[in-house]
């Protein structure tokens, strides 16, 4: 009987309660809350801001020192450049002096000064000559423009006078021709009267031969 019961209990499902049980959460131990000190928090935040400002001021001071160092380096480079240019000029002058000393045709510094003065005078004269030529060119151009303007303004008036002169010549054509003919005939009649001309001699000789 006991064996049958045990087999039934084995194969039978356990009895489930009608309502499931929820696990209980463990209770946290109650701790006393400390009061928040706002002034302390503000002091701490202010201290952090001051530290940041000090760091920024340190960076700015470092940059200013770096800028000053760069200015010093720049001045040093400029001074070195000036010294290098001076040294270059000294070497150039030394080489020039050496060439002058070794030149057999060099006549001394006095001759060089005279040549320099002569070159300066020539340059000045050339500049004055160019200025005079330029002024003359401008004056000629101005006169040419004035002449062209005068001819342009006086152009129509001579045209009318020439027309009147042409008309007068057309009207007085026969009289002019008659006067020219009379003058030519008068001059022709006066030619044989010259005893000194060869034409008169020949004409007289021919008449004498014909009469004989």
Give me the residue spans of the domains in the chain: 39-106, 107-155
Longest CA span, the chain = 223
Q: How far apart are CA 51 and CA 32, in angstroms?
A: 34
Q: How far apart are CA 94 and CA 100, in angstroms?
A: 10
- Note the pLDDT tens digit of each residue in 42-78: 999 999 999 999 999 999 999 999 999 999 999 999 9
> How would DSSP label each residue in 52-69?
HHHHHHHHHHHHHHHHHH
- Note the pLDDT tens digit of each residue in 99-120: 888 888 877 778 878 888 999 9
- Note the pLDDT tens digit of each residue in 145-196: 999 999 999 876 555 544 544 544 444 444 444 444 444 444 444 444 444 4
Average pLDDT, the chain: 73
Predicted model pTM: 0.31
- Residue ranges of the alpha helices (H) in 103-194? 109-153, 156-171, 173-190
Q: How far apart are CA 103 and CA 111, in angstroms?
A: 14
């Amino acid at each position: 009987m006991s064996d049958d019961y045990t087999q039934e209990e084995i194969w039978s499902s356990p009895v489930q309660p009608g309502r499931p049980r929820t696990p209980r959460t463990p209770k946290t131990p109650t701790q006393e809350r400390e009061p928040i000190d706002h002034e302390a928090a503000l002091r701490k935040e202010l201290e952090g801001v001051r530290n940041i400002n000090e760091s920024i001021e340190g960076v700015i001071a470092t940059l200013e020192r770096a800028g000053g160092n760069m200015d010093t380096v720049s001045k040093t480079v400029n001074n070195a450049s000036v010294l290098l240019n001076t040294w270059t000029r000294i070497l150039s002058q030394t080489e020039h002096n050496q060439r002058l000393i070794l030149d057999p045709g060099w006549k001394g510094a006095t001759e060089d000064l005279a040549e320099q003065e002569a070159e300066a005078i020539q340059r000045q004269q050339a500049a004055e000559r160019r200025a005079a030529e330029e002024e003359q060119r401008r004056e000629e151009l101005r006169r040419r423009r004035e002449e062209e303007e005068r001819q342009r303004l006086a152009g129509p008036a001579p045209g009318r006078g020439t027309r009147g002169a042409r008309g007068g010549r057309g009207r007085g054509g026969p009289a002019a021709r008659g006067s020219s003919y009379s003058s030519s005939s008068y001059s022709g009649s006066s030619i044989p009267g010259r005893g000194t001309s060869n034409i008169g001699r020949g004409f007289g000789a021919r008449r004498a031969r014909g009469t004989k």
